[in-house]
């Protein structure tokens, strides 16, 4: 919040730099810019996008004001899907790498993250069952998606090289891959896959993207389980992996990238060169089976 200045008893416009439309900067923090409305979700996404892009934090008082004014609830009030600009801004933030982590932290502290994504409440600050994890369930998902840009699948695909819909599916499946976790109950992959429709349909994502995200969430533990329980040299192993992704090579590359990001967001002992090499062999043979 930037208030007017009082100079010799007269009100003067506040001093701040213009960073982007509706976004200003003052004292190293992002604030509402000229013509911005605190109840406008477009302004909220603009602030988050610019924070992820520039690394500048959003002033917390600005976010609290926007929550009080209903900016986080505005997208769901009409009952209509999110507009395209909101999905594009979300994907831009998710693809920005580690610089997005403070953005989500600040949105969460202001109470805006669970207003934008109500399903997030079910995993917010939820402890992990496995000692291999370093973070709570919600933070682990954010850490994983922030790591995606650094990885490459065995077939050469990277996040930026994927087709647009598959790129969306990879970002969203990584963000929600553990959304089905509940205290003391197994089967989070299946539970999370079943939740995807209810999360992504109100956000306006098409059926094909929702289907791919649900598949990736359902099978995000498949490759780690295969290297522990199956014979990599057995052709049946490669066929099973190929069948899990419906014989789609690009979807298999997405699964490989998701597995690398998921495991790397855990403790160091969860992912090393040996495990990475075993998964590479599995994916390479499954790609050959698909071809």
Residues 210/196, Cβ–Cβ less than 8 Å: yes
Q: What DSSP character marks residue 156? A: S
Q: What's the token pair of residue 214? A: 């649900």
Residue 219 has pLDDT above 90, yes or no: yes
Label residue 129 by pLDDT band (50, 70, 90). Answer: confident
Compare 285 and 34 and report the one with higher pLDDT.
285
pLDDT digits (tens, 9 = 90+) for 59-80: 999 999 999 999 988 786 667 8
Percentage of the chain surpassing pLDDT 90? Answer: 78
**What whole-number distance in Å separates Cα of residue 113 and Cα of residue 121?**
9
Q: Helix (H, G, I), strand (E, B), or coil: what is residue 141?
A: helix
Continuous segment of H or E residues that includes residue 18: strand 17-20
The CA-atom distances, in angstroms, between 194 and each of 44, 89, 106, 171, 284 are 29, 25, 29, 18, 29
The candidate with the shortest Cα–Cα distance to 181, out of 137, 219, 215, is 137
**What does the pLDDT average to over 211-233?**
93
Beta pairing class for 10-12 and 17-20: unpaired
Q: What's the token pair of residue 105? A: 């932290």
Residue 222 has pLDDT above 60, yes or no: yes
Q: Helix (H, G, I), strand (E, B), or coil: what is residue 176?
A: coil
Residue 242 φ then ψ, to 5°: -60, -40
pTM (2 d.p.) = 0.92
Give the chain's largest Cα–Cα span: 83
Compare 230 and 125 and report the one with higher pLDDT.
125
Please, what sign has the CA dihedral across residues 17, 19, 24, 30? negative
Dihedral in degrees, nearest 10, Cα atoms 51, 253, 269, 262: 40
pLDDT at 209: 98
Residue 108 has pLDDT above 90, yes or no: yes
Residue in the structure block whose two tokens are 């989070």: 188
Residue 85 has pLDDT above 70, yes or no: yes
């Amino acid at each position: 919040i930037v208030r007017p200045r009082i100079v010799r008893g007269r009100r003067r416009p506040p001093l701040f730099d213009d960073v982007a439309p509706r976004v200003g900067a003052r004292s190293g923090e992002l604030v509402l810019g000229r013509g911005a409305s605190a109840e406008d979700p477009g302004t909220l996404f603009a602030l988050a996008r610019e924070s992820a892009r520039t690394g500048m934090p959003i002033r917390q008082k600005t976010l609290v004001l926007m929550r009080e004014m209903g900016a986080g609830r505005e997208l769901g009030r009409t009952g209509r899907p999110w507009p395209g600009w909101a999905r594009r801004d979300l994907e831009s933030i998710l693809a920005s790498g580690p610089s997005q982590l403070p953005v989500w932290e600040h949105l969460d502290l202001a109470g805006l993250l669970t207003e934008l994504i109500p399903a997030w409440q079910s995993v917010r600050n939820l402890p992990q069952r496995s000692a291999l994890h370093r973070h709570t369930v919600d933070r682990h998902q954010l850490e994983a998606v922030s790591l995606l840009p650094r990885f490459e699948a065995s077939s050469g695909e990277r996040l930026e090289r994927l087709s647009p819909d598959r790129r969306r599916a990879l970002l969203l499946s990584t963000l929600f891959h553990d959304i089905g976790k509940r205290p003391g109950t197994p089967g989070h992959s299946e539970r999370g896959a079943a939740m995807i429709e209810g999360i992504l349909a109100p956000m306006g994502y098409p059926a094909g993207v929702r289907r791919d995200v649900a598949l990736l969430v359902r099978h995000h533990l498949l490759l780690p389980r295969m290297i522990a329980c199956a014979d990599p040299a057995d052709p049946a192993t490669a066929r099973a992996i190929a069948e899990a992704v419906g014989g789609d090579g690009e979807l298999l590359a997405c699964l490989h990238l998701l597995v690398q990001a998921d495991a790397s967001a855990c403790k160091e002992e969860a992912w090393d060169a040996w495990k990475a090499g075993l998964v590479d062999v599995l994916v390479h043979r499954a790609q050959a089976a698909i071809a």
